[in-house]
Amino acid sequence: MSKKAVALISGGLDSVLAARVVMEQGFTITGLYFSSAFSKSFGNEEATPAARVAKSIGIELRVLDMGQEYIDVIRNPKHGYGRHINPCIDCKIFMLTKAKEIMNELEAPFIVTGEVLGQRPMSQRRDTLHLIERDAGLKGMVLRPLSAKHLPPTKAEEEGIVDGEKLLDISGRSRNVQLHLAGQYGITGFSAPAGGCLLTEEHFAERLRDLFTHNPSVTPADIRLLTLGRHFRLESGEKVVLGRDNRENNTIISLEGPGFHLFLPHDFPGPVAIMTAKPSDVEKHTVGRLMLKYSKELPGKARSIRYGPKIFAPEERAEEQASRPIKVGSGA
Ligand code: SF4
């Protein structure tokens, strides 16, 4: 039997520790890191905590982009959301379903995860651990080395491929045992628990709910836009986003493309703006006025805006007075 196993590596301590515990029994681990537009490190996968911890225990790390399919899972989770807009049960089922393909490709007998019984109220209860592996089509094939002694034996333990006696009996929310073992194994570079997932953050959840309400087809670029800038809804339902600093302005400029329409300050230092649909004439002036509002006044100097090849000076119009843009998200 193959001494290979696949391990989900999130970048947090528990998952890398679980992989390291299995390595003690002579297994070669292939780590899988699932990247999505909801990761704080999206677009910078080489420098993620997952890459750091994989290096610290000397395993190969494959990065899998969860893409559009994952956005659909977030939008309609079969098992509901956690505290914010994090559908942890569906998310884990999704990741394990993808991991199963790699497990089969490598002819590995099981998948390792870092779940700890009772650590999280939603996804790490005994019944949900069972549900997750059942719905992923992996009954008896998900090894949770950190809590294995509290759980029914996996097939690998029953068949003697893995020595269950050498696995651990951690449960609950305390992280003292894990931190002690991290020191013992020399594991460094891990992130805070769930620290890399935007779906667990209130401010992001507010913006994402708004996006799902207004937009029937959400793309990774739409999600990326949620992570930066000041957000406004116009009366037409379209979104305008303004950069708050140079870094955000540059990222917004990089997002220009189909479905995204860019506005630049023409002759003054100020925010770049992007709109999620082709603006009407009135909307152009509304966006321009927002840009002026969030930039410094220049005494004696009129400020103008570039939209495509055209330059215009924003005006206050009667239609706009009747409908002001609405700010989206408390942090905007
Ligand atoms: S915290 Fe985020 S990445 Fe982790 S299981 Fe929940 S939704 Fe998925």
Per-domain boundaries in the chain: 4-197, 228-328
Mapped onto helix, strand or coil, the DSSP state of residue 326 is: strand
Q: What residues line ligand 1, using a CB cutoff of 6 Å?
A: 86-88, 91-92, 194, 197, 199-200
The CATH number of the domain covering residues in 4-197: 3.40.50.620
3-state SS class at 242 = strand
Q: How long is the chain?
A: 332
What distance in Å separates the CA atoms of residue 138 and residue 319, rounded to the nearest whole number?
A: 58
Q: What is the pLDDT of residue 257?
A: 87
Give the Å distance between the CA of 66 and the centre of ligand 1: 12
């339902």: which residue's tokens?
237
Nearest residue (by CA) to ligand 1, atom 6, is 88
Determine which residue's CA is closest to atom 3 belonging to ligand 1. 197
Taking only the tens place, the pLDDT of each residue in 237-264 is 999 999 999 999 999 999 998 889 999 9
Predicted local confidence at residue 322, as pLDDT: 66
Average pLDDT along the chain, 332 residues, taken 10 residues at a time = 88 97 98 92 80 96 94 95 94 97 97 94 87 97 98 97 98 95 95 82 93 91 91 93 96 91 96 95 95 91 94 84 76 46
pLDDT at 40 (0 to 100): 82
Token look-up 């719905």 returns 135
Interval 179-216: pLDDT, tens: 999 999 999 999 887 667 999 999 899 999 999 999 99
* CA gap 279, 283 in Å, rounded: 5
Say how many Å lie between the CA of residue 86 and the centre of ligand 1. Answer: 6
Q: Which residues pair with 143 in a beta bridge?
A: 112
Total-model pTM: 0.87
Mean pLDDT (the chain) is 92
pLDDT value at position 229? 94
- Helices vs strands, H then E, count in the chain: 12, 12
Query: Dihedral (C-alpha) 105, 110, 114, 118: value to the nearest 10 degrees?
Result: 140
Burial class (CB in 10 A: 0-12, 13-18, 19+), 217: exposed
Q: How far is the CA of 85 from the centre of ligand 1 (A)?
A: 10
The pLDDT score that the predictor gives to residue 304 is: 96
| CA 281 to centroid of ligand 1, rounded, Å | 42
Q: Which helix (H) or strand (E) holds 290?
A: helix 281-293
Cite the beta strand spans of 137-199 per DSSP E: 142-143
